[in-house]
């Protein structure tokens, strides 16, 4: 037993709900005027739901996951028998045709747990009039998460995902969201067999802190060592293998990258700190040496008459030739060398073809 979803301005967009056969939304149907957006849910068995096929032309490279889902649905469709003698499914025309969705328990319409508090559809209202309020941030999943939470392990988040999709669809009326909501709806009724259900209690109000098991963490660590980033397929595979939601895998890798970067930053900082200490020590030594030289200058005033030493380096062989000249320059006013150093030592880069 699963759910089907349709958007459109016709009261019965699901032909299969009348004939148990084919739910095929043509492209023209998808491109209906969204301002008159309606929302229709079909409740039927899986065979019927798998007949639900959406022509999605928005096939960007990043939509492979969704495309895969569509493929799986198509495969299931082809493998399933069209002559399934299942009981007729139930169709719910929610908006704006039949305002059956009401949160108060005493209302005449049907109520859904995921909409009981946050989304109220008022009778006769248009889709735009749906009120979304008191939504805890933790219960609102991003579009991305909605997409990725379409794993079989995510029945709890699927509720939130559907909640988000529902509001999003009604707000934006996008074809993509149509398909996303379809996927979410399809997965809502899958049994809660994973730890993902422990994220929230039965009231759906609190989110328990999830701790990955050692095995999961180790597996993720190994995967991270192989590649620090994941493509959608890898993410899906990892999530399936670890019985986690793809969003959890993605978050884990994001946090892991952040921690790796932080650790690397700490290492770099430590290295730079040591370099700084070394340079400080070197600077201190050179300063001390300079002071000694200056002291030597004051105690030995005739030092400037010492011959200057000229170092000449051969650019080819880098040999340094030392020549002693008597070209030490002394300032006539200060009786000090023109430069601040006591010994005029220069390295001349010259052509020394003779060496």
Partner DNA sequence: CCCCTGCGACTGGTTACTTCA
Partner DNA sequence: TATGAAGTAACCAGTCGCAGG
- Judged by the rule CB under 7 A, the positions of this chain that interact with DNA are 57-63, 65, 137-138, 140-145, 147-148, 172, 174, 176-177, 199, 207-212, 217, 229-230, 232, 247-248, 250-259, 261
Q: Which strand (E) or helix (H) includes residue 40?
A: strand 39-44
The overall longest dimension of the chain from CA atoms, in Å, is 117
Rounded Cα gap, residues 148 and 239, in angstroms: 10
In the complex, minimum distance from the CB of residue 258 to DNA, in angstroms, rounded to a whole number: 5
In the complex, minimum distance from the CB of residue 115 to DNA, in angstroms, rounded to a whole number: 18
Kindly tell me which of 19 and 227 has the beta carbon lying closer to DNA.
Answer: 227
Rounded Cα gap, residues 219 and 44, in angstroms: 39
Kindly tell me which of 17 and 127 has the beta carbon lying closer to DNA.
Answer: 127
Kindly tell me which of 145 and 186 has the beta carbon lying closer to DNA.
Answer: 145
Rounded Cα gap, residues 174 and 178, in angstroms: 6
Kindly tell me which of 33 and 208 has the beta carbon lying closer to DNA.
Answer: 208
Rounded Cα gap, residues 118 and 260, in angstroms: 39
| Token output for 119 | 């989304």
In the complex, minimum distance from the CB of residue 118 to DNA, in angstroms, rounded to a whole number: 13
Rounded Cα gap, residues 134 and 315, in angstroms: 77
Distance of CA 227 to the CA centre of its chain: 15
Categorise residue 243: left if φ over 0, alpha if ψ from -120 to 50, beta otherwise: left
In the complex, minimum distance from the CB of residue 307 to DNA, in angstroms, rounded to a whole number: 58
In the complex, minimum distance from the CB of residue 58 to DNA, in angstroms, rounded to a whole number: 5
Kindly tell me which of 60 and 108 has the beta carbon lying closer to DNA.
Answer: 60
Kindly tell me which of 140 and 237 has the beta carbon lying closer to DNA.
Answer: 140
Strand partners, 40: 6, 93
Name the one residue in this structure whose structure tokens are 């300063």: 287
Within 10 angstroms of residue 34's Cβ, the number of other Cβ atoms is: 20
In the complex, minimum distance from the CB of residue 276 to DNA, in angstroms, rounded to a whole number: 22
């Amino acid at each position: 037993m699963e759910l089907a979803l349709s958007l459109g301005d016709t009261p019965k967009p699901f032909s299969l709900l009348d004939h148990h056969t084919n739910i095929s939304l043509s492209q023209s149907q998808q491109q209906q005027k969204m301002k008159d957006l309606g929302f229709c849910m079909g409740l039927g068995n899986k065979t019927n739901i798998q007949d639900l096929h959406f022509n999605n032309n928005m096939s960007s490279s990043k939509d492979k996951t969704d495309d895969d889902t569509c493929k799986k649905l198509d495969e299931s469709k082809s493998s399933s028998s069209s002559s399934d003698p299942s009981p007729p499914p139930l169709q719910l025309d929610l908006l704006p045709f039949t305002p059956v969705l009401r949160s108060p328990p005493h209302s005449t319409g049907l109520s859904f747990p995921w909409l009981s508090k946050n989304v109220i559809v008022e009778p006769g209202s248009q889709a735009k009039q749906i009120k979304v309020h008191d939504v805890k941030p933790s219960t609102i999943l991003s579009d991305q998460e909605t997409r990725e939470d379409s794993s079989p392990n995510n029945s709890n988040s699927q509720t939130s995902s559907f909640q988000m999709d529902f509001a999003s669809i009604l707000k934006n009326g996008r074809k993509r969201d149509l398909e996303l909501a379809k996927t979410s709806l399809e997965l809502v009724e899958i049994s809660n067999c994973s730890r993902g259900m422990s994220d929230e209690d039965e009231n759906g109000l609190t989110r328990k802190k999830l701790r990955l098991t050692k095995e999961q963490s180790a597996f993720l660590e190994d995967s991270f060592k192989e590649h620090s980033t994941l493509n959608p397929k890898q993410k899906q595979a990892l999530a399936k293998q670890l019985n986690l939601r793809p969003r959890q895998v993605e978050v884990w890798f994001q946090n892991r990258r952040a921690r790796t970067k932080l650790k690397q930053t700490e290492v770099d900082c430590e290295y730079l700190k040591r370099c700084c200490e070394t340079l400080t020590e070197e600077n201190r030594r050179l300063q001390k040496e300079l002071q000694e030289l200056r002291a030597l200058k004051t105690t030995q005033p005739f030092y400037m008459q010492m011959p200057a030493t000229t170092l000449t380096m051969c650019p080819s062989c880098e040999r340094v030739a030392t020549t002693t000249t008597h070209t030490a320059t002394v300032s006539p006013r200060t009786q000090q060398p023109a430069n601040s150093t006591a010994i005029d030592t220069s390295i001349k880069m010259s052509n020394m073809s003779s060496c």
